[in-house]
Structure 1
């Protein structure tokens, strides 16, 4: 059977086109047998490009140039069942062999041993060709082969804009890498070698693709003449669609071909971007008269020249779309953008979302075309009770969660199909297709595939991807997923708490603080359902099935106006937008510290990447520090506020911009001098022998163990108890923050440890051996719970024998913290093998203690040594604690500065004025 090479997916992976069949195109996936060619970069599930092997691009270019679109003879050797490909050899009609071509150029390899089913003569031939290429150092055998590797990536919005302006009006030779739809292709070119861009044909669209057969034939037609071929395209214009240009394919004008066959229709909104508008109109007219493709059932009397969009009617892409009520001919007009890039900021329900436009930053609520969720939500409230019981049924909760977990915060392309007016609110709402630009995935289609929503179009509604949406819904029906399942739909019940007051708030606080260790509340997983203001949230706690009101701890943010008679604080809107962008409907972790008089839960909120939202808000200049003295990150808040104040960000841009409540608290805080250190007195302020058991991860803190017989006895007693626990208890799943008994891997001994990191289902946990200060990873099998009872009370209650202290007169924050912390650790380990003397010098407001650590009173201390090596910075705020000691440390830093050591290598990096980095 004769074939034509339809596509070259990789140098050794091709698609052949055979004689047509009644079922449609006869495509055959093949692989070249017995050889391996380098692999091109492919997109991963996240949409990013994966790695590419050396000379993969050159190999595939050779194959495409030589074979694409040409008749070939295929000899099958075997079938690869896993890939559903036929493996064999490919020859042109002139006798040129594809495998031989690749081997001769050093673009393929053969295994060292003869594969099964391969003839010896063929193996000898292939091996000889490969060895010749290897001797000639061709292709992948070249010494510089590694340099022939492309690193592909997607362009940023700024890079896209610049490239669009650069290409506009030019004719470029490109290679069509992928056909996304009959009118949209991904292309690459020498002018942009490290990326692929999306181009669409101006003046045409597949708006009315109800007929699956026509839609499939249209895509095949484009692939048949463009896929993997080099073609010339004219970049006619660049529009708001990210990574998308309007381009005329000059090879036979494919747009005209598609219109003549009735595969596409005229697109009025982009017709102005092409120079062939008259030819396109003539082609569509001819197809209409011949009843081709989409015009098969066309009737002349049914045509209308209006551009109005009635309630539920498909929108013609015009500058303004009329939106009429069902009972009236007059109505508002939708004048918003017809296609734009945006970010998803809220999932309203299973078929409605809110996006923020990239161009203007405005929030736009849109409905997903062709998708309908149940919206079956009931709310029950008993009189004036602060608890409202909300029930989600018929997969409404699941639909919302699917969209939230997969698309919240994602950049998308929004294409308006039509607009409708919401009867209750008179809102004019666009009905749209929403796609991920990197993959072209339609989020409505993805939702339909889960079965959590159904496919529905009104009598006059038109969606350009209706057939694809319908197929997705049918697949879900066939699999019995979601709403199509035979079982009873799940019911999700949530208790929303409002206006609790102090007494009721304390009742619920006890639930939210279960598992509290000391003064540290437990970390609770949650979802920010709504952002009410810069520091005011509503957070859903899955563990308790509560939705609670939350005030972000430690900060005050500008307040918006509660009603029209009030005036909002300056930058209130910016503060709220900052919170919406980073928090709304994202997964977070919170620590609930207390509850205020109104029943709001004062909480620390951690973003998905671990960022403390309080610190981030203050650092952005959209909040001030307030009531944070007891928070463990108080100093970080102070530092962030100073930085924002120094840079004049937002509320610090003008004195009148600071919220009045915040200004009052700031005055009180400055009057109290909370940034000052307090000198230590007592027995510990004199040098005492210690063992430096471990260096902290920051390099500027150490763990100290007191020396003495009493301490040695305690260690022996604790180890005996730990050994007993290891034999008594079986395995269990440790939780973060727990005090446990764990085995130290290096010497197989058992000691007390605190769990720093543990995830359910993982077999490795990270622990801190509290009596030594060592952080280590160990398996779950090597962790035991400490039993209850008086026998093991010492294990539970005895304070850690290794105390974490900070090194006096050193800053905790330095430039390039990871690198310098590593250097500091190396210096500390080099400084001593364990035995030291140390004394407590001062404390800060957070309860941290600062020690001078040395091996001898007559030699430089560890702090001085770090300063001399240039791996630490002097803390100028500590000067008032002990001026004489401070001068010694200042002299040590001067040595590193003069000699340009460490951080001083390229000159001064410290700020003399305030000591802040």
Structure 2
């Protein structure tokens, strides 16, 4: 169609909105205040009517459908005119309705004086009908008639003659399940046309080509709003400016929308203008603020939104004109530092040891640990649930175990952090208030993982919601909100609809009768796994035993630690020297770590007494080695007497800590009565060799009875063989295990690594093996009571050399000489419950200990017992003979030169 010259009497404006194929809204040139708007209906044409949604506020309002090609006609004008500068004329105004009819002219891009008549253009496309009639049609109307006839002849647009359903949209005005609809889009960008702007942050749009009609609230922001009070509408400051900002950039524009969430029946989403996210621009202009409740849903992340808001705040633009930040400038030397985690307090606080050795308590920023739920609701009153009163004798509340998910949160942090170095960044200082002390709130990371975010994502804590003007929050607050949104969606932890986990814990502390009930189980269990929950002093700790689900107070056996200050019936007492150092040493070594304990006995107060091992280290021995405790006389009866005594002698000699003022007492000669060495030889067969000159042996006298016992056991297992995988092994359990020879033997589970790696101890032979789950079975009834046949002994009056090479040679020789052979043994002396014996070859009558010393494999131990002096002298003479002959460990000379006193030699 040919262009025409500009008409003389015209007005100028920008097309704001296209209502249909024959009506537009033009925003005029502003002269102060909001720009005026005017609806112009194109003269002499009729466009197909657009579909309309039923209005619930109007009685008898019904939903209508598109007339054919109504959408195409509207889209033709929208793509041609929206946002364009146009010129228009008003030919007449209809009386009554006040509608203005006229023509709209689109200037040519090359020559502004050459104009395109929009009415003629749309008629030529066959998308509207020309109103024919009148007494004397004008030249303009005749031109429209010609253009319409040409379109009909060319079968363009609605004159194509296709089915009447062509060009009719299938509009989905509502969705039954908005959440499923959003999830089905998978966060992908959707093409859309904005149909209406309600306010600066709320729009209505059609998704194309599906034609879902959606109301979208911009994720993460809120603009000033229009409030309706009855029939009157009030406008918050800058609400109109925000609406105009959004409307002038989005209304009826082709945009991309990412639907990110649902709020009631409205959708949360990001609207992508060709230049970026419209929310960022609103924030940058001071026309919106970030809101925490929806910012977590923003697909592109909240960082850009926060940064845009921060700039507007700094410039004090519009809604921020009176802004004053409440963020406190941290006046601390170190805002970032590293530290080692020594304790996890509940689910949101840690105790750290810094590089300079001081301890700091920090709280994870912007998270709230689980809270104690309300009392159980039972019964109803007037249709409402009522809470039952707490009984007077109800047990005390232990938050760690009674608050839902508190224990899981603490365990998550404990397993990940205890003893590990972490990076700390201070976010803010929360001042003391309401009786609570000041808190240093920080972000803690390890291996690049934000621990607060990890807790939130697992649903173990929740995110604190702040006032809009509160800037005291985590530097990664938006990441926390995103993690919480994800946890809620997946029903994790506290957000789960399932019953929360219940921990039924038996607390024996201060209850001797209850403690006595657990004593037999703990004694029979051997080594039990435990978690150190609290350290009261160097030798007193509080343990949680997961397998037994009990809390106990545990005292370290075999030692005496300096006493802490305390208040008793006689008044307060001062702490003994080094009591605090002992406390800190025990804390750092084992607090909240997984340990193993051997319970031996119990005291009158219900405290358990025994041995505690941290990663294989005996804590009693370690405290003695550090000079922080002394050997107690009860240790002499234990298996650890020698090592504790040796450690104490070394610390005494070094005058370490509690021994710093120790003086050796003057020796007095005590004349002892000479006692004869007693002998009571018994026949044994050696079944297993240890690594400390120890061995396991079976008594030959009980051999026939044991063989009969094993035959019965295997016959019963053959009649009812264990089902593979039916036995669930636990540390300390007695069971049957299949050895490499394919036979079943009695065994004790020592450690469960996984289903295919379980360490067992064969109680009748003394050897250890790693087996799979299929090689284990439950012990048949009645076979637990038979005493283990493997007896544990050490070789008397001998010692292993310190050098690793010589030590291994000695063990190899010892094994070669005694393993699987019969001997006569005599118990020479005991250390605690450990028996030290001599071995005599029943045929040659040769003393095996003496023979190994004379061959230069072992060292003679200098025992002081009078009854052993003849034996000690013989062993010493055998050692001197090996030294002179330069046999084995003496091949390079006298290895005792540096330690002559230790071995009783004079240089």
> TM-score of the superposition, structure 1-length normalised?
0.55
Aligned to 2:166: none
Change (3 A) 1:728 1:877: same
- The counterpart of 1:691, out of the listed 669, 682, 685, is 685
Distance 1:903 1:783, change over 3 A: farther
Helix, strand or coil for the counterpart of 1:797? Answer: coil
Contact 2:363/2:440, CA 8 A, preserved across alignment:
yes
Alignment of 1:650 with 2:657, yes or no, is yes
Within the alignment, does 1:418 sit opposite 2:433 as a pair?
A: no
Match for residue 711 of structure 2? 720
1:566 match: 573
Alignment partner, residue 224 of structure 2: none
Q: Which of 481, 487, 509 is equivalent to 1:476? A: 487
Relative distance call for 1:512 and 1:337 in structure 2 (3 A) is farther
**1:279-318 deviations in Å (ceiling 9; x for gaps):** xxxxxxxxxxxx9967541444599xxxxx99xx54435x
Q: Pick closer, same or farther for the CA change 1:372–1:777 going to 2, 3 Å.
A: closer
Tell me which residue corresponds to 1:36. none
365, 368, 371: which one aligns with 1:369: 365
Report the counterpart of residue 548 of structure 1 in structure 2. 552
Q: Work out the CA distance in 2 between the residues paired with 1:717 and 1:683.
A: 27
1:489 counterpart = 2:477: no
Post-superposition offset of 1:677? 14
SS at match of 1:415: strand
Out of 539, 543, 564, the position equivalent to 1:539 is: 543
- SS of residue matched to 1:374: coil
1:477 is paired with a residue whose SS is: helix
Change (3 A) 1:882 1:339: same
Give the Cα–Cα distance (whole angstroms) in 1 for the partners of residues 589 and 618 of structure 2: 11
Q: CA deviation at 1:827?
A: 0.7
Output the TM-score relative to the length of structure 2.
0.56
Q: 1:98-117 alignment to 2 at 5 Å?
A: none
1:455 to partner: Cα distance: 2.3
Q: 1:493 to 1:440 in 2, by over 3 A?
A: same
Match of 1:351 in 2: 348
Could you give the per-residue CA deviations for residues 588-626 of structure 1, whole angstroms, max 9, x where no partner exists?
A: 23233333233322232222x122222221222111122
Partner residue, 1:272: none
Map of 1:853-868 to 2, 5 A cutoff?
A: 853-855=839-841, 861-868=847-854
Contact 1:528 1:585 (C-alpha < 8 Å) held by counterparts? yes
Aligned partner of residue 636 in structure 1, secondary structure: helix
Which string of whole-angstrom CA distances, capped at 9 and with x for unpartnered residues, describes residues 374-404 of structure 1? 3438999987999766553342222222111
**Would you say the 8 A contact 1:315–1:417 is kept in 2?**
no
Query: What are the Cα deviations for residues 849-894 of structure 1, in whole angstroms up to 9, with x where unaligned?
Result: 3332244786864323433455433221256443232223223333
The answer as to 2:540 corresponding to 1:525 is no
Structure 1 residue ranges without an equivalent (≥5) = 1-209, 213-261, 264-290, 304-308, 322-334, 657-662
* Alpha-carbon separation, structure 2, partners of 1:906 and 1:413: 55
- Distance in structure 1 (CA, Å) of the matches to 2:450 and 2:527: 36
Determine if contact 1:677/1:878 at 8 Å carries over to the other structure. no
Task: Please give the alpha-carbon distance, in whole angstroms, between the structure 2 residues aligned to 1:756 and 1:449.
Answer: 37
Deviation at 1:532, TM superposition (A): 1.3
For each residue in 1:394-423, what CA deviation from the matched residue of structure 2 results, as whole angstroms up to 9, or x when unmatched? Answer: 422222221112112211122212111232
The aligned runs of 1:720-739 (5 Å cut-off) are 720-729=711-720, 730-731=722-723, 732-739=727-734
Residue 22 of structure 1 aligns with which residue?
Answer: none
Q: Determine helix, strand or coil for the equivalent of 1:469.
A: helix
- Equivalent-residue separation in structure 2 for 1:495 and 1:914 (angstroms): 50
1:368 Cα deviation from its structure 2 partner: 0.8
1:806 corresponds in structure 2 to 794
1-structure distance, mates of 2:676, 2:486:
72
Q: Does 1:587 align with 2:594?
A: yes
Q: Which residue of 2 aligns with 1:463?
A: 474
Mark the CA change 1:384 to 1:475 in structure 2 (over 3 Å): closer, same or farther. closer
Contact kept? 1:677, 1:845, Cα under 8 Å:
no
The separation in 2 between residues aligned to 1:832 and 1:397, in whole angstroms, is 53
Secondary structure at the aligned position of 1:399 is classed as helix
Determine the C-alpha separation between the residues in 2 that align with 1:641 and 1:869: 33
Alignment correspondent of 2:510: 499
Q: 1:772/1:749 Cα in 2 relative to 1: closer, same or farther (>3 Å)? A: same
| 2:453 is the alignment partner of 1:445 | yes
Helix, strand or coil for the counterpart of 2:859? coil
Q: Which residue of 1 aligns with 2:619?
A: 613
- Distance in 1 (alpha carbons) for counterparts of 2:307 and 2:780: 80
CA distance in 2, matches of 1:678, 1:449: 74
Distance 1:653 1:381 in 2: 56
Once superposed, what is the RMSD of the aligned Cα atoms? 4.3
Measured at CA, do residues 859 and 395 of structure 1 come closer, stay the same or move farther in structure 2, by a change above 3 Å? closer
CA distance in 2, matches of 1:734, 1:487: 29
Structure 1 residues 653 and 829, CA, compared in 2 at 3 Å: closer, same or farther? same
1:850 to 2:845 alignment: no
Once residues 417 and 611 of structure 2 are traced to their aligned partners in structure 1, the CA distance between those partners, rounded to angstroms, is: 25
Instruction: Work out the CA distance in 2 between the residues paired with 1:904 and 1:876.
Output: 22
Q: Is the contact between residue 378 and residue 392 of structure 1 (CA under 8 Å) also seen in structure 2?
A: no
Q: Do the aligned partners of residues 843 and 735 (structure 1) sit closer, same or farther apart at CA in structure 2, a change above 3 Å counting?
A: farther
**Is it true that 1:815 corresponds to 2:802 in the alignment?**
yes
- Give 1:642-791 correspondences, 5 Å limit: 642-655=649-662, 681-684=678-681, 690-694=684-688, 696-698=689-691, 700-707=693-700, 713-729=704-720, 730-731=722-723, 732-746=727-741, 748-751=742-745, 753-759=746-752, 762-789=755-782
Contact 2:351–2:361 under 8 Å retained in 1? yes
SS in 2 for 1:526: strand
Q: Distance in 1 between matches of 2:374 and 2:360?
A: 26
Contact in 2 for aligned 1:621/1:652 (Cα 8 Å): yes
Q: CA deviation at 1:577?
A: 0.6
- Which whole-Å CA distance do the structure 2 matches of 1:493 and 1:705 have between them? 44
Pair 1:383–1:900, CA change in 2 (3 A): farther
Question: What per-residue deviation string (whole Å, max 9, x for no partner) do you get for residues 638-686 of structure 1?
Answer: 2222232223222112239xxxxxx9xx99xx99x9xx999762432xx
Change (3 A) 1:342 1:816: farther
Change (3 A) 1:341 1:762: same
The secondary structure found in structure 2 opposite 1:911 is helix
Aligned residues: 571
Q: Identify if the C-alpha distance between structure 1 residues 855 and 435 changes in structure 2 by more than 3 Å, giving closer, same or farther.
A: same
1:709-736 C-alpha deviation (Å, 9 max, x unpaired): x655334313321321321342434554
Contact 1:389–1:493 (8 Å) recurs in 2: no
SS of aligned partner of 1:585:
coil
Instruction: Find the aligned partners of 1:294 and 1:873 in 2 and give their Cα distance.
Output: 80
2:335 alignment partner in structure 1: 338
- Equivalent position of 1:883 in the other structure: 869
Structure index of larger Rg? 2
| Structure 2 counterpart of 1:623 | 629
Q: For residue 111 of structure 1, what is the aligned residue in structure 2? A: none
Could you report, residue by residue, the CA deviation over 1:509-544 in whole angstroms, capped at 9, with x for unpaired residues? 222432644xxx543332211111111222223344
CA contact (8 A) 2:749 2:760 kept: yes
Alpha-carbon distance in 1 for matches of 2:699, 2:544: 46
| Structure 2 gap ranges (5+) | 1-218, 222-282, 285-305, 319-323, 376-388
Q: Distance in 2 between matches of 1:550 and 1:916?
A: 41
1:67-123 Cα deviation digits (max 9, x unpaired): xxxxxxxxxxxxxxxxxxxxxxxxxxxxxxxxxxxxxxxxxxxxxxxxxxxxxxxxx
**Alignment partner of 1:844: what SS?**
strand
CA contact (8 A) 1:387 1:498 kept: no
Structure 1 residue 498 displacement after superposition? 4.3
Shift of 1:343: 1.3
TM superposition shift of 1:689: 5.3
Change (3 A) 1:866 1:412: farther
